[in-house]
Amino acid sequence: MTPRSRSVGVTASSASGAGVRTGRPPLTERRKDATRLEIAREAVRLFTERGVQATSGEDIARAAGISPRTLWRYFSAKEQCVRPLLTRELTRVAQRLVELPAGRPLAAVVEDDGAERYDDEDAEGASAVRALIRLTREEPSILAVWLQVHHEAEAVFAGVLAERLGLPADSLDVRVRASMINGALRSASEDWALAEISEADAVSPAHRDTVRRAMRIVTDGLDC
């Protein structure tokens, strides 16, 4: 199966909203993704205002305008509600890795972003992600979700690299490379989120610029 035809999931759970797909997803799935993102944004807002311990799943459901039963259909725990925001950048990079022609270097995954346009929704999403990553410094349960998301993403990166290199996904060469990419993305996001810059300067383009810098550092040492 070629990289272009393969469907890749960044997370193991379909409830996370993080699956990487080729092509445009069906309308029903797009609506589910939109609901997951709305839940995630409300969860971040409440966690930031009240703290995780003082926020219940029922509080998040009420803020998102859905029933608790619907919330638990999407997520297994209140902390998991933030996953769709945490996985967005990982999903984007994984999708680009899948679609990247075999002859192009991995750095091209983030070098083509310059033509992208950023709107109010991008800025709102970037602000929520920034607040969420900052929460990982004081909320261990959110840090656990952040690390879990990256752990799952690493397996996806390994699968893509294995195809490019013609090696088993569990080989040391592939696993080390996947770990380097994964670590670069996590470090870039944390560097961006924790930087002392204004909200106006921290929208999506700033995040993407930091990711580009991190990927350049990594790909300088990757022969693939």
Maximum mean pLDDT: which of 29-38, 51-60, 126-135, 153-162 = 51-60
Q: Is the pLDDT of residue 213 over 90?
A: no
Confidence of residue 44 (pLDDT cuts 50, 70, 90): very high
- Spatial separation of the C-alpha atoms in residues 10 and 61, rounded to whole Å: 25
pLDDT in tens, 148-193: 999 999 999 999 889 888 999 999 999 998 999 899 999 999 999 9
Query: What integer pLDDT is reported at residue 102 of this predicted model?
Result: 77
Query: What integer pLDDT is reported at residue 117 of this predicted model?
Result: 47
Homologous superfamily in CATH for domain 8-219: Tetracycline Repressor, domain 2 (1.10.357.10)
If one compares 136 and 102, the residue with the highest pLDDT of the two is 136
Chain centroid to Cα 57, Å, comes to: 22
Closest CA to 182 of 153, 221, 145: 153
Q: Are 34 and 43 in contact (CB under 8 A)?
A: no
Query: What integer pLDDT is reported at residue 199 of this predicted model?
Result: 61
- Category of 23 on φ-ψ map: left (φ > 0), alpha (ψ -120 to 50) or beta: left
Q: Is the pLDDT of residue 123 over 80?
A: no
Confidence of residue 203 (pLDDT cuts 50, 70, 90): low
In the chain, alpha helices (H): 27-50, 57-64, 68-74, 83-99, 108-111, 120-135, 140-165, 172-194, 204-219
Q: Would you list the domain boundaries of the chain?
A: 8-219
Element containing residue 45 per DSSP (H, E)? helix 27-50
